[in-house]
Amino acid sequence: MTTPSAHAGYPAFHRQVCSRRDDYIREVFARHQEAIRVKKESVVVRKLAAIFDKTLEISNRHGFQAMSVRDLSEATGISMGSLYSYIESKERLLGMILTYGHVVVDHTLRIPEALTGPRERLHHVLRTHVYITEVMQPWFYFSYMESRHFDRDTREQTIAGELRTERLIADLLDEGVAQAVFPVRDTGLTAALIKPLLQEWYLKRWKYRRRGIGVDDYADRMIAFVDAALNGAAET
Amino acid sequence: MTTPSAHAGYPAFHRQVCSRRDDYIREVFARHQEAIRVKKESVVVRKLAAIFDKTLEISNRHGFQAMSVRDLSEATGISMGSLYSYIESKERLLGMILTYGHVVVDHTLRIPEALTGPRERLHHVLRTHVYITEVMQPWFYFSYMESRHFDRDTREQTIAGELRTERLIADLLDEGVAQAVFPVRDTGLTAALIKPLLQEWYLKRWKYRRRGIGVDDYADRMIAFVDAALNGAAET
DNA sequence: GTCTATATTCGGATAGAC
DNA sequence: GTCTATCCGAATATAGAC
């Protein structure tokens, strides 16, 4: 049941994403330049990295609203005045953090390419999703929990992203049904039931950590559960 | 695939819970009496019902922190001063709302009793959970989303409740394994994977409503999905 | 029991020296 | 680029008349 997918296991995936972190933050800088008064890129990248980390850390404990900019100032060791020359406003900080996550996800959650069989393609997508949400757990948690506080546009953008994932899964299921690999009736609903199994990993990771279940463990088990559900669907 | 369980369908369940609503609120009143300056029970029950409803409504849109007591005052039509003679403080209001949900759940999520087969008992628990979270959707959503802002004790109480549900499912799976009804390997992990399928219903209900999927539809499909996963587990 | 008016604290944001 | 000091609006909570 070990994956015959395009993945070389989680550690390699983790290293790759982390090594590109500065590039991702540079792109965030580029997209929000007008809002950032400091102009020296190397300085900005270093500071933004710290600001994003601490914001996610504090917000995920008490909520973004509850985090005062003063709290953030103390946590990062950057004074209020200085901080505001990087973030412009608290709302803009939110926007930058969302951009950050989207940049990372866009660069990593790529299509399988060489994989052909519907089942293999599905497995790959499920595993990659678990991997990326493991690397970026604080961001996914934040995005999920805070989305209802966003303004209309931002919220709808987030929801659209969510639905895209679900749609991707549904499409893969459709492929499988067309090739008589999965005996699934309603692929849309089935995809909707699979998605919470992906979200489970970043929403309740503490629970699995406490039980000693690691990323690859979870991916293996979750994929097996889904496979069983897809196979057994014939009997319904 | 229609349930041969102790349930007479959702509408009957809904009516029963709603008809007892005043009793539940009376119990909340009893448990928080010292914090409520107004003493006339009939008045308190009526006002608390409105206060709870509006609080859940506003909080579930923008978050409990973001809801000012002024907002609540305007929404309920009760003046600031008057409001404070019912809630003592915003934090106490939070406590009362949590009590409210716990009271309702304690009275409705009862054990199957006469049902014997492990599969039937599991189906019953899953369906009842979907039913109760449908009636009390705003409360469950609130409790899930706000729990990380609670103080230590309250948060741990909420988590304990969560784990109890998961444990209940795991125990039923164990029963089934013992009687060779389910070929499941790790019942703890399987229970952990089933739980998000229950939470899905109150966390993303808008999605299913938009697709025209009702409570009993969801319960049927979700239970079928779980059944298939349990059966197919043998092949792993 | 209900209201209006107000005390007080806190958080976002900026000015301006260095 | 970074800091300290400060402004100002908003939110919780209360006092006290009716």
Interface test with A, best of B225, B230, B231 (most A CBs within 10 A): B225
Q: For residue A104, count other CB atoms closer than 10 A to its CB.
A: 22
Residue A4 has pLDDT above 90, yes or no: no
Residues recorded for chain B:
236
In a domain, A3, yes or no: no
In a domain, A5, yes or no: no
* Predicted pLDDT at B4: 54
Burial class (CB in 10 A: 0-12, 13-18, 19+), A100: buried
Name the residue range of residue A75's domain: 17-102
Domain boundary among A44, A79, A102: A102
3-state secondary structure A201-215: HHHCHHHHHHCCCCH
Domain boundary among A102, A123, A157: A102
B90 & B121 share domain: no
A175 & A230 share domain: yes
In a domain, B166, yes or no: yes
Q: Which own/partner pairs from B93-98 qualify as long-range (CB within 8 Å, at least 24 positions apart)?
A: B93/B51, B93/B55, B94/B64, B94/B146, B94/B150, B94/B154, B95/B32, B95/B154, B96/B28, B96/B32, B96/B35, B96/B48, B96/B52, B97/B52, B97/B55, B97/B56, B97/B139, B97/B142, B98/B143, B98/B154, B98/B158
3-state secondary structure chain A: CCCCCCCCCHHHHHHHHHHCHHHHHHHHHHHCHHHCCCCCHHHHHHHHHHHHHHHHHHHHHHCCCCCCHHHHHHHHCCCHHHHHHHHCCHHHHHHHHHHHHHHHHHHHCCCCCCCCCHHHHHHHHHHHHHHHHHHCHHHHHHHHHHHHHCCHHHHHHHHHHHHHHHHHHHHHHHHHHHCCCCCCCCHHHHHHHHHHHHHHHHHCHHHHHHCCCCHHHHHHHHHHHHHHHHHHHHHC
A139 & A75 share domain: no
- What percentage of chain B reaches a pLDDT higher than 90? 90
Q: Search chain B and give the residue with CA nearest A185.
A: B221
Which bases of chain C are contacted by protein, using any atom under 7 A from a CB?
1-6, 10-16
Residue B2 has pLDDT above 50, yes or no: no
B115 & B92 share domain: no
Q: What is the mean pLDDT of residues A196-210?
A: 97
Asked if B49 has any chain A CB less than 8 Å from its own CB, the reply is no
pLDDT band at A6; cut points 50, 70, 90: confident
Q: Which residues have CB under 8 Å from B47's CB, separation 6+?
A: B38, B76, B78, B86
How close is the nearest chain B Cα to the Cα of A151, in Å?
A: 10
Which residues of chain A have a CB within 8 Å of the CB of B225? 190, 193, 229, 233
Token couple for A70: 């003063």
Residue B126 has pLDDT above 90, yes or no: yes
Residue A236 has pLDDT above 70, yes or no: no
Burial class (CB in 10 A: 0-12, 13-18, 19+), B123: buried
* Predicted pLDDT at A113: 77
Written as one letter, the residue type at A43 is V
B83 & B114 share domain: no
Which bases of chain D are contacted by protein, using any atom under 7 A from a CB?
1-6, 10-16
pLDDT band at A232; cut points 50, 70, 90: confident
Average pLDDT along chain B:
94
Residue B7 has pLDDT above 70, yes or no: yes
In a domain, B211, yes or no: yes
How close is the nearest chain A Cα to the Cα of B188, in Å?
A: 10
Which residues of chain A have a CB within 8 Å of the CB of B63? 63, 65, 148-149
Distance, in Å, from the CA atom of A174 to the CA atom of A21, rounded to the nearest integer, reads 35
A133 & A57 share domain: no
In a domain, B9, yes or no: no
What total of structural domains would you count in chain B? 2
Domain boundary among B45, B69, B100: B100
A126 & A48 share domain: no
B22 & B83 share domain: yes
pLDDT in tens, A117-156: 999 999 999 999 999 999 999 999 999 999 999 999 999 9
Asked if A97 has any chain B CB less than 8 Å from its own CB, the reply is no
Written as one letter, the residue type at A204 is K
Which residues of chain B have a CB within 8 Å of the CB of A203? 196
Distance, in Å, from the CA atom of A195 to the CA atom of B143, rounded to the nearest integer, reads 21
Q: What is the mean pLDDT of residues A221-236?
A: 86
Closest CA to A66 of A149, A141, A139: A149
pLDDT in tens, B172-199: 999 999 999 999 999 999 999 999 999 9
In a domain, B36, yes or no: yes
Q: Which residues have CB under 8 Å from B101's CB, separation 6+?
A: B136, B139, B140, B143
* Predicted pLDDT at B5: 65
CB contact under 8 A, A196 and B192: no
Q: What is the mean pLDDT of residues B16-27?
A: 98
Asked if A90 has any chain B CB less than 8 Å from its own CB, the reply is no
In a domain, A125, yes or no: yes
Q: What is the mean pLDDT of residues A61-90?
A: 98
Lowest-confidence region among A91-105, A110-124, B198-212: A110-124
Q: Which residues have CB under 8 Å from A58's CB, separation 6+?
A: A67, A71, A72, A75
Q: Search chain B and give the residue with CA nearest A194.
A: B197
Asked if B71 has any chain A CB less than 8 Å from its own CB, the reply is no
- Using CB atoms and an 8 Å cut-off, which of residues 142-181 of chain B contact chain A? 145, 148-149
pLDDT band at A5; cut points 50, 70, 90: low
User: Distance in angstroms, CA of B33 to C1' of C2?
Assistant: 19
* Predicted pLDDT at B109: 84
B145 & B222 share domain: yes
For nucleic chain C, give residues with Cβ below 7 angstroms from it: A 67-70, 80-81, 84, 88-91; B 37-40, 43-44, 47, 77-82, 85
Spell A132-165 as b/e; 16+ CB within 10 A means b. bbbbbbbbbbbbbbbbbbbeeebeeebeeebeeb
A87 & A125 share domain: no
A161 & A66 share domain: no
How close is the nearest chain A Cα to the Cα of B46, in Å?
A: 30
In a domain, B12, yes or no: no
Q: Search chain B and give the residue with CA nearest A149.
A: B62
CATH number at B177 reads 1.10.357
* Predicted pLDDT at B38: 98
Spell A31-41 as b/e; 16+ CB within 10 A means b. ebeeebeeeee
Which residues of chain B have a CB within 8 Å of the CB of A230? 228, 232
How many contacts, defined by CB atoms under 8 Å, are there between A and B? 100
A79 & A151 share domain: no
